[in-house]
Amino acid sequence: MNLGEVAKLIDGIVIGDPSLEIIGVGPIETAGAGHITFVKGANFINKLKLSKASAVLVGNKEEININQVLTPRPELAYARLLDHFHPQERPKPGIHSTVVLGCNVILGKRVTLSPLVSIGDNVEIGDDTVIFPGTVVRDNCKIGRNTVIHSNVTLYSNSIIGNQVTLHAGVVIGADGFGYTVDEKGMHTKINQIGNVVIENNVEIGANSCVDRAASGTTLIKKGTKIDNLVQVAHNCTIGEHCILVAQVGIAGSCKLGHHVVLAGQAGLSDHVTVGNHVTLAAKSAALRDIKSNSVYGGIPALPLNIWKRSVTVLPKLPDLARTVRDLENRLNNIEKKNSGE
């Protein structure tokens, strides 16, 4: 492939030699001769000068001695070229001899069921879907087209997984929500969780994350949402479209998130919290109350981020502040004493 063809693939414009052969794509640190690269950040020009890459994706024409491809979204173009030069691994279609299939299983075309996969009764799996070794799909699950389920995943019964979904290793979909009531003797009595989980199209869920089935009804992950590793989504939550849940986030029961919500690492939501659209919650913060659309929050409990940031700036000065106040009090006492003595 030459640079002209690469540019065409991403609707870009070549500034330089379109006949240059491009053999790969990679980040600035490792890209070598024949590679096209991409950089972001303030001092990327300096990084580029040290790079051995043969071409670079840029948003604006730069004064550098390297072939450029002009494109309005260089990172997006980079992602698309990566997908072209390094497509995700897909094992060959087919049902391995060690797969255990239940009754009444409906498989689409070119499905891959890898070794030691267990499929329950009444399961449907769409065309081109891949299931890696050791995964368990229980009764009555429906899995869409072109979906990838990695190893040692568990889908509890009645889970519904869309198209182009990726579930990473160890994910658990549809385990019972954490619902109990107390009996006469103070013992926790299980409230059977009779709902299910629905994961819409183009969702990706990271390793060892959990999405619990609803108490009744559905725990819903809407289309395009991306969930990192070790995240907990409790029963009856609705996670809106195109959200980002970073690693170790925990969302308690019955939360409702709008679209384009970003929860940074280890953030948490109390139960029944409603979050609007385009909300960002900072890492490690805890939203105990509803959050309106288009806002950025942080802290425990969460405050508007700028307020939280200003507050924590004072924290290390608190001991001094307390000492100053005691000092002022003493001085004021002296003045008042003196004044009353006058």
Closest to 85 measured CA to CA, from 37, 145, 138: 37
Residue 170 half-sphere exposure toward CB, CA atoms < 13 A:
9
Using the rule CB under 8 A, is 188 a contact of a copy of itself? yes
* 142 vs 260 by CB, closer to a copy of itself: 260
Interface with a copy of itself includes 341 (CB under 8 A)? Answer: no
C-beta of 1 vs 244, nearer to a copy of itself: 244
Tell me: does residue 106 bind a copy of itself (CB under 8 A): no
Min separation Cβ 130 and a copy of itself, Å: 12
User: Applying CB under 8 A, does 178 fall inside the site for a copy of itself?
Assistant: yes
> Looking at 51-59, 62-70, 79-87, 104-112, which segment touches a copy of itself (CB under 8 A)?
79-87
Token pair 């299931």 is at which residue?
A: 131
Site for a copy of itself in 234-263 (CB under 8 A): 234, 242, 244, 246-248, 250, 252, 260
Name the one residue in this structure whose structure tokens are 């809407």: 222
Contact 301, 287 (CB under 8 A): yes
Q: What is the spatial distance between Cα 185 and Cα 191, in angstroms, rounded to a whole number?
A: 16
Nearer to a copy of itself, 161 or 286 (CB): 286
Near a copy of itself by CB under 8 A: residue from 43, 60, 65, 181? 181
Residue 337: CB minimum distance to a copy of itself, A: 12
13 belongs to the binding site for a copy of itself (CB under 8 A): no
Asked if 168 is part of the footprint of a copy of itself (rule: CB under 8 A), the reply reads yes
Binding piece for a copy of itself, criterion CB under 8 A, among 45-53, 59-67, 289-297, 302-310: 302-310
Q: Is 122 in the site for a copy of itself (CB under 8 A)?
A: no
Among 191, 274, 296, 305, binds a copy of itself (CB under 8 A): 191
Per the CB < 8 A criterion, the answer to whether 176 and 157 are in contact is: no
> Binding of a copy of itself at residue 303 (CB under 8 A)?
yes
Question: Is residue 61 involved in binding a copy of itself (CB under 8 A)?
Answer: no
Catalytic residue flag (residue 235): yes
Of 47-55, 61-69, 105-113, 130-138, which part binds a copy of itself (CB under 8 A)?
130-138
- Only one of the segments 2-10, 51-59, 105-113, 283-291 lies at the binding site for a copy of itself (rule: CB under 8 A); that segment is 283-291
Catalytic pick from 235, 242, 259, 260?
235
3-state SS, one letter per residue, for the chain: CEHHHHHHHCCCEEECCCCCECCEECCCCCCCCCEEEECCCCCHHHHHHHCCCCEEEECCCCCCCCEEEECCCHHHHHHHHHHHHCCCCCCCCEECCCCEECCCCEECCCCEECCCCEECCCCEECCCCEECCCCEECCCCEECCCCEECCCCEECCCCEECCCCEECCCCEECCCCCCEEECCCCCEEECCCCCEEEECCCCEECCCCEECCCCCCEEEECCCCEECCCCEECCCCEECCCCEECCCCEECCCCEECCCCEECCCCEECCCCEECCCCEECCCCEECCCECCCCEEECCCCEEHHHHHHHHHHHHHHHHHHHHHHHHHHHHHHHHHHHHHC
Residue 92: CB atoms within 10 A of its CB come to: 7
Q: Of the two residues 129 and 135, which places its CB atom closer to a copy of itself in the complex?
A: 135
CB nearer to a copy of itself: pick between 109 and 309:
309
Q: Which stretch binds a copy of itself (CB under 8 A): 50-58, 62-70, 83-91, 104-112?
A: 83-91
Binding flags for a copy of itself, 21-50, as an x/- string (CB under 8 A): -----xx-xx--------------------
Q: Which of 176, 274, 296, 305 lies at the binding interface for a copy of itself (CB under 8 A)?
A: 176
Tell me which residues are annotated as active site: 235
